[in-house]
Amino acid sequence: MFRSMLVRSSASAKQAVTRRSFSSGSVPERKVAILGAAGGIGQPLALLMKLNPLVSSLSLYDIANTPGVAADVGHINTRSDVAGYMGDDNLAKALEGADLVIIPAGVPRKPGMTRDDLFNINAGIVKNLCTAIAKYCPHALINMISNPVNSTVPIAAEIFKKAGMYDEKKLFGVTTLDVVRAKTFYAGKANVPVAEVNVPVIGGHAGVTILPLFSQASPQANLSSDVLTALTKRTQDGGTEVVEAKAGKGSATLSMAYAGALFADACLKGLNGVPDVVECSYVQSTITELPFFASKVRLGKNGVEEVLDLGPLSDYEKEGLEALKPELKSSIEKGVKFANQ
């Protein structure tokens, strides 16, 4: 687990063991590129990926300030080499040879903004970055963090289709923060250790499209329908909760970086052939009538190995599923339309 890996890596950083064990070639070389690495999510994400022993090369890209972030992170005594790239002219170098590209680039939400308000700015950024990915690292796994994820993942898919290199198994919308929040909030109400909690979250990554399946949570707790409704609402509004608490000074950056690092770690484990790596993610899917949908996904050497069934839903969750579909459908269509303008 990534959490214990952080503890291990900080302990092993004090020893020279790390360098010796990795020089033996026991762990594959993996290049990870972060696009938007100097931003509010990008910087803590760069730090967390530097601590991940599965990463051999960490490539940090942004339109400004990346050399400083790279110099700072690069002093940390863990396995990966770090390089910083700044501006359009250096995007190709940042991407070449990448096994995994994580995209937190774009502007953050401010109070009163919906994820949709971000659309016009972030959609253009994503379009440009994906055009470059198609050219310089067409076989990399893509972890999309830039909001609105419900639309930016379909945009990426359309850009890759135009370039003739779309592989639906390699494109992921990162919805892990919804899972992280659902676990945290559920553990608090169920009075169980959060480390033991698992809660699948399906649908999309904005407001009512986020549907935590507390009926499938483990360990099971006997919570009232009112409590489950409140937990669902809090999970859906988690981003807004942070935006309002920061009072105009930003959005969920630290928890998003943590969630992004967790999902990236799962993708790297899958690439390296670790069996039974299952995480929720927003991917191309046929489990509903919608072309993209978040659900449990088994990860492997090619990215998505299998999109898992939703499993049994409570009546409340069935209602939530039907209620989220029109908004998610609209967001997908908006992304496809933008990509094809």
Q: In one letter, which amino acid is 49?
A: M
What number of other Cβ atoms are within 10 A of residue 249's Cβ? 11
Tokens describing residue 196: 């033991």
What gap in Å lies between CA 168 and CA 151, rounded to an integer? 15
**Which among 205, 234, 329, 334 is annotated as catalytic?**
205
3-state secondary structure of 153: helix
Alpha helices in 163-219 (DSSP H): 176-190
| β-bridge partners, 81 | 57
- Residue 330 to residues 23, 146, 238: CA-CA distances in angstroms? 50, 18, 22
| φ/ψ (deg, to 5) at 192 | -125, 155
| φ/ψ (deg, to 5) at 25 | 80, 15
The CA-CA-CA angle for residues 110, 159, 239, to 5°, reads 20
139 noted as active-site residue: no
Q: What is the DSSP letter of 309?
A: P
Q: Could you tell me the sign of the dihedral formed by the alpha carbons of 244, 249, 255, 261, in that order?
A: positive
Phi-psi region of 120 (alpha: psi -120 to 50; beta: other; left: phi over 0): alpha
| φ/ψ (deg, to 5) at 210 | -85, 120
Q: Which residues contact residue 136 at a Cβ distance below 8 angstroms, ignoring those fewer than 6 apart?
A: 91, 92, 95, 96
Question: Which strand (E) or helix (H) includes residue 180?
Answer: helix 176-190
| φ/ψ (deg, to 5) at 105 | -65, 155
Q: What is the DSSP letter of 308?
A: P
Q: Which residues does the annotation mark as catalytic?
A: 205
